[in-house]
Amino acid sequence: MPLPIDKTFGQDFGGELCPQASAIVQALADPNAPPAAQTDIEAARRGHALADYDIPVASAETRVEERWLPTRSRPVRVRLYTPPGDGPFPVLVFAHGGCWTFCSLDSHDRLCRYYSHHARCVVVSVDYGLAPEQPFPRGLNGFYDSLLWCFGHADEIRGDATRVAVAGDSAGGNLCAVAAQRLQAHPNFRLCLQLLIYPICDAANLRGGSVDRYANGYFFTREVLAWTASIYSRDSGPQHPEISPLSGEVGPRMAPALFIVAQCDILCDQALDYARKLREAGVDVQSHFYRGVPHAFVAMAGALELGQQALAYSAEHLTRAFYNESDS
């Protein structure tokens, strides 16, 4: 069965990292790192491993503010990014990556500024609850409830409820995929796009294919995913369809999807499998495949050309979805 790849970027290095990406991964490697389960979570959260490779601030004109959304379950902190002008603007509800355990509004601040500026939208970056303090489904519910709030109260943030999308990387992409599955049955609210950047689609089956090939030495390891999935899923188990959306129910009412897939990533095969599943269900899917780059390569866009390309093309895709522009 052919892979569901629509566009391919980068040179073929025989399935290995390109020179730029290899230099970054080698610089980040720590031969003295303890086993994943011994990670000091609080210390890891205080840092940002990819800060030195981040993009410059896209625009000084973007208005940035924090507020608490009074969602149906509990208040959720968000950071709002608003472009200049009166609006109403499209709304992008964003979930940061970090294996449901790490990262923050700050670690993905510049990425959100980029999308707000280049896609001319209000970005709502959600500070969802992290494991192990807030295991499944608390973080997911916080993100989903924030999404529902944005649909119902878009005018309060100069947004347009008819043009709402979700975006996230890695675990954030996982939350977006599950939120899009939940929203299939909603009688009124429809997403115009789900932007899934190397999403975690299957946390239960961590053997074979790209998981084996890229298990170690490519920045994101199988050991780290297995450990964080265990503390996130806790009593539910990683096979739960709202933890592993590849097992979830999908139909033609699902929002269109753009997948950003990294070749040298344990998540490569499962992202393509989920793209295929959506396409077979009648969903409009675009898959962009980037050769020679690892997981989190978009977060390396300040030093990695293919990361810059992925940012630019995904922002263009968002713009077309928001403003009903054709793909020229």
Catalytic residue among 170, 210, 233, 244, which?
170
Whole-number pLDDT of residue 319: 98
For 161-215, give the secondary structure using H, E and C. Answer: EEEEEEEEECHHHHHHHHHHHHHCCCCCCCCCEEEEECCCCCCCCCCCHHHHHCC
CA–CA separation, 32 and 63 (whole Å): 41
- The catalytic residue among 117, 240, 295, 317 is 295
**CA dihedral for 269, 267, 94, 78, sign (positive or negative):** positive
**Are 310 and 290 spatial neighbours (Cβ–Cβ below 8 Å)?**
yes
Give one DSSP letter per residue of 214-226, joined into a string.
TSSSSSS-HHHHH
Predicted pLDDT of residue 72? 87
Tens digit of pLDDT at every position of the chain (328 positions): 666 799 999 999 999 999 999 999 999 999 888 999 999 999 999 988 999 999 998 778 999 999 999 998 899 999 999 999 999 999 999 999 999 999 999 999 999 999 999 999 999 999 999 999 999 999 999 999 999 999 999 999 999 999 999 999 999 999 999 999 999 999 999 999 999 999 999 999 999 999 999 999 999 999 999 999 999 999 899 999 999 999 999 999 999 999 999 999 999 999 999 999 999 999 999 999 999 999 999 999 999 999 999 999 999 999 999 998 655 4
Q: Is 295 a catalytic residue?
A: yes
Q: What is the pLDDT of residues 272-290, one digit of tens each?
A: 999 999 999 999 999 999 9
Q: What is the pLDDT of residue 235?
A: 87
Residue 328 confidence (pLDDT):
45
- Does residue 104 have an active-site annotation? no
pLDDT given for residue 77 in this prediction: 98
Vertex 160, ends 158 and 163: CA angle to 5°?
140
Q: Is 125 among the residues known to form the active site?
A: no
- What gap in Å lies between CA 12 and CA 18, rounded to an integer? 8
- Burial label, 21 (beta-carbon count in 10 A; 0-12, 13-18, 19+): buried
Q: Which helix (H) or strand (E) holds 324?
A: none
From the candidates 146, 265, 269, 314, give the one annotated as an active-site residue.
265
Q: For the whole model, what pTM was predicted? A: 0.97
Task: Identify the CA nearest to 268 among candidates 324, 212, 224.
Answer: 212
How open is the CA angle 243-6-269, to the nearest 5 degrees?
A: 35
